[in-house]
Amino acid sequence: MSTIKIAESPNGIEGPGFFATSLDAAVGMARKNSLWPLPFATSCCGIEFMATMASTYDLGRFGAERLSFSPRQADLLMVMGTISKKMGPVLRQVYEQMAEPKWVLSMGACASSGGIFDTYSVLQGIDRIIPVDVYIPGCPPRPEQVLDGILKIQELVQNESLRRRDSTEYKAMLQEYGME
């Protein structure tokens, strides 16, 4: 018996030989199940991410096993670890090089808030320089939490309107970060 699980089809109208749904729903389903993460790992949280990728937790089950180390071929930026202020401009450049639509997952206390490193040299949260979609708490978060974060991202991706990136709210949000 095959153990391959077919992705759930979106809501639509079904009949003999046909299935109709909205373009938003079809694109959302495809994007949700084919995320290309870019792991931006600087310290210990990155090790926990490696465990999440490995056979026991197997991120590939969510259609996200193809990691990208080029921002131009990634749509999910996963930031894991302590981000120093010196590293901030690099992270921002990576984000800016990613094509729309793109999402950001902040993994662990360091990436989300600076964590225990309340010092002059550590960025106190990556959302000071780039917008974040989902935060994963913990130091480090367990792989189950990372999977939960991915599921939350999938939920956002699936339900995002195709027009969101052109909306005035989205543009205003980017402007707050000094981006276009």
Q: From the list 7, 30, 50, 139, which residue makes contact with ligand SF4 (rule: CB under 6 A)? A: 139
- Taking the complex as a whole, the smallest distance from the CB of residue 44 to ligand SF4 amounts, in Å, to 3
Is 82 near ligand SF4 (CB under 6 A)? yes
Round to whole Å and give the CA distance between 105 and 91.
13
Is 81 near ligand SF4 (CB under 6 A)? yes
- Residue 79 phi/psi, 5-degree rounding, is -100, 120
Round to whole Å and give the CA distance between 73 and 5.
26
Is 132 near ligand SF4 (CB under 6 A)? no
Q: Between residues 29 and 51, which has the closer beta carbon with respect to ligand SF4?
A: 51
Round to whole Å and give the CA distance between 90 and 104.
15
CA nearest 153: which of 33, 54, 57, 25?
33
- Report residue 143 as tokens: 């792989």
Q: Between residues 61 and 128, which has the closer beta carbon with respect to ligand SF4?
A: 128
One-letter amino acid of 10: P
Round to whole Å and give the CA distance between 28 and 40.
25
- Report residue 159 as tokens: 């339900």
Q: Between residues 39 and 140, which has the closer beta carbon with respect to ligand SF4?
A: 140
Stretch that binds ligand SF4, among 6-14, 37-45, 88-96, 119-127 (CB under 6 A): 37-45
Is 113 near ligand SF4 (CB under 6 A)? no
Is 157 near ligand SF4 (CB under 6 A)? no
Q: Between residues 98 and 109, which has the closer beta carbon with respect to ligand SF4?
A: 109
Give, to the nearest 10 degrees, the angle between helix 44-53 and helix 143-159. 70
DSSP 5: P
Stretch that binds ligand SF4, among 43-51, 84-92, 121-129, 150-158 (CB under 6 A): 43-51
The footprint of ligand SF4 (CB under 6 A) covers 43-45, 81-82, 108-110, 115, 139-140
